[in-house]
Amino acid sequence: MPSPHPDFPNLRVFDHPLIQQKLARARDKRTNSHDFRRLLNEISALMTFEVSRNFPFRTVEIDSPLERTTGVELSEPVTLAPILRAGIGMTEGILALIPDARVGFIGIYRDESSLEPVDYYAKFPPDVAAGPVLLIDPMLATGGSASHAVSRLKDHGCRNVQMLCLVCAPPGVQRMRDIHPDVLVHTASLDRELNQRGYIVPGLGDAGDRIFGTQ
C-alpha cells in the first residue's frame, strides 16, 4: 500500500518493490522509447490497482454456471484525464485495468511572458463530474499545469479528483497542497528538487520526448 508522506499530507508514495524496480528501469537513460512506454503503462496499472480501492461500487446479481450469486461493479463512471502530451503515455496501462473508463484530454502550455499555465485544448465527457477522475501526468514538477488542470476539472463540477504521476518534486506537491488540498497525489517517488531548467532531478528527463522518441 502507498505510504502517506510525513511532510505532505496530500501525497501518497508507492514503495512496492515491483513499482520501484520498474521506475529504476524507466529512469535509466539507456531505456529506449518502446520499453519506456511499456514501463510507464505497467507502473500506472500497478498504482491504479490501489488508487481504485475506494471507488464507489454496488452489489449486483449474476448467474454463474451453477447458481445465482452476487458480485460487485463500479457504480460511477471513471474518467481518465491525461495532460497532453506525456499523460497519454500512461493511459493504456490504466485502461487495461479499467476498460470502461472514459478518457478526457487537457492540453496546457506556459505563457512565456506571464509564466502562467494556459490551456489550449480541453475535451471531457459531458458527465465528467458523475464519478471519480484520475488526472494523469508522468511528472509533477512546479505544479503549475497540474493545479490548473484540477481547476478546469472543478469548473466542470468534478469533486472527486486524484492525480497519478510517476515522479514529483517538493515544489509541485506543495503547490497542489496550497491550491487543491482535497486532491491526493499518488506517485512512485518524491524526488529531490528541481534544477535551474525546472526539470525534476534525478527525474526521468523529458518524459514526452522519451515516450514518443522526439527531441
Structural domain includes residue 168: yes
Yes or no: say if 168 and 176 are a contact pair by the CB < 8 Å rule. Answer: no
The amino acid at residue 29 is: K
Yes or no: say if 121 and 152 are a contact pair by the CB < 8 Å rule. Answer: no
Residue 206 has which C-alpha cell? 523529458
Full residue range of the structural domain in which residue 186 is found = 3-57+74-212
Identify the DSSP state of 202: S
Structural domain includes residue 69: no
Per-residue pLDDT of the chain (215 residues), as tens digits, is: 787 888 999 999 999 999 999 999 999 999 999 999 999 999 999 999 999 999 999 999 999 999 999 999 999 999 999 999 899 999 999 999 999 999 999 998 877 666 578 889 999 999 999 999 999 999 999 999 999 999 999 999 999 999 999 999 999 999 999 999 999 999 999 999 999 888 899 999 988 889 998 87
Instruction: Sort residue 213 into left (φ over 0), alpha (ψ -120 to 50) or beta.
Output: left
Please report, for the domain that includes residue 200, its CATH number.
3.40.50.2020
Residue 176 has which C-alpha cell? 497542489
| pLDDT (0 to 100) of residue 198 | 84
Yes or no: say if 190 and 13 are a contact pair by the CB < 8 Å rule. Answer: yes
The amino acid at residue 53 is: R
Number of domains composing the chain: 1
| pLDDT (0 to 100) of residue 4 | 81
Yes or no: say if 80 and 95 are a contact pair by the CB < 8 Å rule. Answer: yes
Q: Is 122 helix (H, G, I), strand (E, B) or coil?
A: strand
Alpha-helical runs (H) found in the chain: 17-27, 33-51, 91-97, 144-155, 170-179, 207-212
